[in-house]
Amino acid sequence: MQPSPPDAAWLARAVEIALDEDLGPAPGRDVTTQSTIPAGRRGTAHLVARAPGVVAGLVVVRPVLDAVAARLDLDRAEVDTLVADGDAVAVGDVAAVLTGPVQVLLVAERTLLNLVCRASGVATHTRRWTDALAGTGATVLDTRKTTPGLRALEKYAVRCGGGTNKRMGLYDVAMVKDNHVAAAGSVAAAVRAVRERFDVPIQVEADTLAQAMEALDVGADFLLLDNMPTPLLAEVVAAVRAREPEVGRVELEATGNLTLDRAREVAATGVDYLSVGGLTHSSPILDLALDLVG
Polymer length in residues for the chain: 294
**In the chain, ranges of CATH 3.20.20.70 domains:** 132-281
Q: What is the CATH number of domain 132-281?
A: 3.20.20.70
State pLDDT tens for residues 106-123: 999 999 999 999 999 999
State pLDDT tens for residues 87-112: 999 999 999 999 999 999 999 999 99
CB 266 within 8 A of CB 137: no
State the Cα–Cα distance between residues 33 and 218, nearest whole angstrom: 63
* pTM, rounded to two decimals: 0.95
State pLDDT tens for residues 125-147: 999 999 999 999 999 999 999 99
CB 271 within 8 A of CB 228: no
State pLDDT tens for residues 236-283: 999 999 999 999 999 999 999 899 999 999 999 999 999 999 999 999
**In the chain, ranges of CATH 3.90.1170.20 domains:** 8-123+284-292
Q: Look up the CATH architecture of domain 8-123+284-292.
A: Alpha-Beta Complex (3.90)
List, in sequence order, every residue forming a beta bridge with 89; answer none if it has no partner.
53
> Which of 109, 106, 43 shows the shortest CA–CA distance to 78?
43
Residues taking part in catalysis: 110, 145, 177, 205, 226
Count of C-beta atoms within a 10 Å radius of residue 216 = 22
Asked if the model's pLDDT at residue 1 lies above 80, the reply is no
Give the model's pLDDT for residue 141: 98
Residue 230, phi-psi category: left (phi > 0), alpha (psi -120 to 50), beta (remainder): alpha
Give the model's pLDDT for residue 291: 98
